[in-house]
A and B are shown apart, each in its own frame.
Chain A
Amino acid sequence: MHLIQRMKIWKELRRLEQRAREQPSPSTFVDLGQVYINLDLHDKAERIAEDGLALFPKAPELRQLLDCARRGLRGKQAAELRAKLTRAPNAATYRELAQLQIELGDQAALHTTCQEWGLRFPDDPGCWLVLGQARLVGFYRDLAAREGQEAVRCLQRAVAMAPGDAQARRLLGEVLYRIGAVHGAMEHLQKLQELDPQDAELQALLAHVQGLADRGDDIDGLLEDVEAHGSLAHPSLAAVPKPQGDEAMARVRDGLAHVADLAGVRKATFIRGSKALVKGSIRDGRDPFLRVVRVVAKAAHRFAKRLDIGSANKTVVDGAFGHVCICVYGEALAAVQCDEGTDLTQVMAELQEIVAGALHAAEGSGT
């Protein structure tokens, strides 16, 4: 590109930027972002799409622009990682590259990466987990027995190589119960529970799987049945019909009353979205305890996410006021304020019960 062409493009860019500032509309942002994409400046295109979405959050063309910009960025990152692997191969970089290729949907490149990864680092179960994940996506989309067999084979290998790897075990457990191998799935889910007994989501999943009918342990046969019938044997936890909102909220209310009766507990609340149920000595919606709970839960969530230690499920704040105990899962939160000397283990277990019970509560029920 010679100098005059570059000057013309920069002039056009300035004009579009000014237009986006003075007459913001989805199309002005898209035009501007498109120029940046053509110039291979995907990071700037991403920024433009984000700015546009801040003003027009429902504009589908801006979402497409953001997607396109991010795909471009991922493509660049993948090329950089590939070059890095050529210079100095290591398992962590292979993992990073494979995840990018999954996000890009580049199956051929993913298989090449995993093959190379497995050959260079035969003791690393990561390549089997990533391959299993990619195959699972294909299986759930097409319900093709062959994809399912490959997914199960890869995940079984990953679990055999790293029995403590929760992700591989969870994926394997999930696919097994969905095709009808409920007993096989329960083995993996129970092992997962041993690894993390406080995982509320897992407890809900176990309760769901326990109630399903087992169709044997012939995995290949079950996968072929799925392909033949064009449907999975059992629904996922998310697809299970939820109990009526009133019923679910009655359970939450009972749980909250129970926890508020524990010795030392002064205030108790259950919060979902902008609404709250309260028990104990809470004056009104402006009670400082409610604000502390919301603020600390949000800050702890950000702390854990950014520190890469997952989701903050339980938080305890100690001070002269006693203890504030918070248990969160997804949008549901249960918390108490209690005196010093209260049995926090029991309080936390009760809060976990309330939150786990609320997992099924219908959206927008009378909280």
Chain B
Amino acid sequence: MSKIHDAVVELRRAPGVRGAAVLTNDGLMAASSLDDALGADVVAGLSSYLLMTANKSLGEGGMGTCTQLTVHATHGKAVLLDLTDSFLVVLFDQFADIAGAQKQVQDAASSIRRASRLA
């Protein structure tokens, strides 16, 4: 579990990242490193809601599930990445270059997947 936490903390250090968290599909927080202004419960609840809603509508349409969901909002950005039984949420500020941070996000996701298999 500490390796998952370490991966999240490492990801948080990337430029423009306001917070990162690993959540179970039903919204339970497994590890997080979030900006003080972000409530862990709020992030968990909303991320789970967004991913579950997207997956439900994709599933009903026979389109499978989503592997990544990216939201660009006026004051921030978010990436939700599927990790099979859980998912990684990364919150960015509005000026962050998500494409530039994609490698760090994918590296963190790989570390978390490896750590989950070993646990």
Contacts and interface: CB of A to CB of B under 8 A. Distances in A.
Nearest to B18: A309
B2 interface: no
Given A295-B57, A317-B66, A304 B94 contact: no
B64 A307 contact: no
Nearest to A327: B72
B61 A319 contact: no
Interface stretch (A13-21, A59-67, A116-124, A286-294): A286-294
Report which residue of A300, A309, A312 has the largest number of chain B beta carbons within 10 angstroms of its beta carbon. Answer: A309
A319 B74 contact: no
B46 A303 contact: yes
A314 B43 CA distance: 19
A2 interface: no
B54 A288 contact: no
A321 B43 contact: no
Contact of B53 (A196, A296, A304, A319): A296
Name the prevailing secondary structure of the B interface residues.
mixed
Name the prevailing secondary structure of the A interface residues.
mixed
B60 A198 contact: no
Contact of B78 (A291, A299, A309, A320): A309
A308 interface: yes
B118 interface: no
Interface string A268-303: 000000000000000000001101100110011011
Interface string A117-160: 00000000000000000000000000000000000000000000
Nearest to A289: B61
Interface residues of A, number: 31
A317 B66 CA distance: 6
Given A317-B69, A318-B67, A300 B74 contact: no
Given A300-B50, A306-B42, A288 B62 contact: yes
A322 B48 CA distance: 22
A299 B76 contact: no
A99 interface: no
A311 B71 CA distance: 10
A28 interface: no
B75 A321 contact: no
B71 A198 contact: no
A307 B53 CA distance: 16
A309 B61 contact: no
Nearest to B45: A306
Contacts of B61: 288-289, 291-292
A77 B8 CA distance: 37
Contacts of B58: 288, 292, 317, 319, 321
A313 interface: yes
Contact of B73 (A195, A310, A318, A321): A310
Nearest to A293: B57
Interface in B84-119: 91, 94-95
A313 B74 contact: yes
A306 B50 CA distance: 11
B72 A307 contact: no
A319 B94 contact: no
Contact of A319 (B47, B64, B77): B64
B41 to A, nearest CB: 12
B60 A196 contact: no
Nearest to B98: A316
Interface of A: 195-196, 198-199, 288-289, 291-292, 295-296, 299-300, 302-304, 306-321
Given A295-B57, A314-B70, A317-B69, 19 more contacts: A288-B60, A288-B61, A291-B61, A292-B54, A295-B56, A302-B49, A304-B76, A306-B42, A307-B73, A309-B73, A312-B71, A312-B72, A314-B71, A315-B72, A317-B54, A318-B68, A319-B67, A320-B67, A321-B64
Counting from the closest, the 8 A-B pairs by CB-CB distance are A288-B61, A310-B74, A309-B76, A304-B73, A310-B75, A314-B72, A295-B57, A299-B53
27 contacts: A288-B57, A289-B63, A291-B57, A291-B60, A296-B53, A299-B50, A299-B53, A300-B71, A304-B71, A307-B46, A307-B76, A307-B78, A309-B74, A309-B75, A309-B76, A309-B78, A310-B73, A310-B75, A310-B76, A313-B74, A314-B72, A316-B69, A316-B70, A317-B54, A319-B65, A319-B66, A321-B64
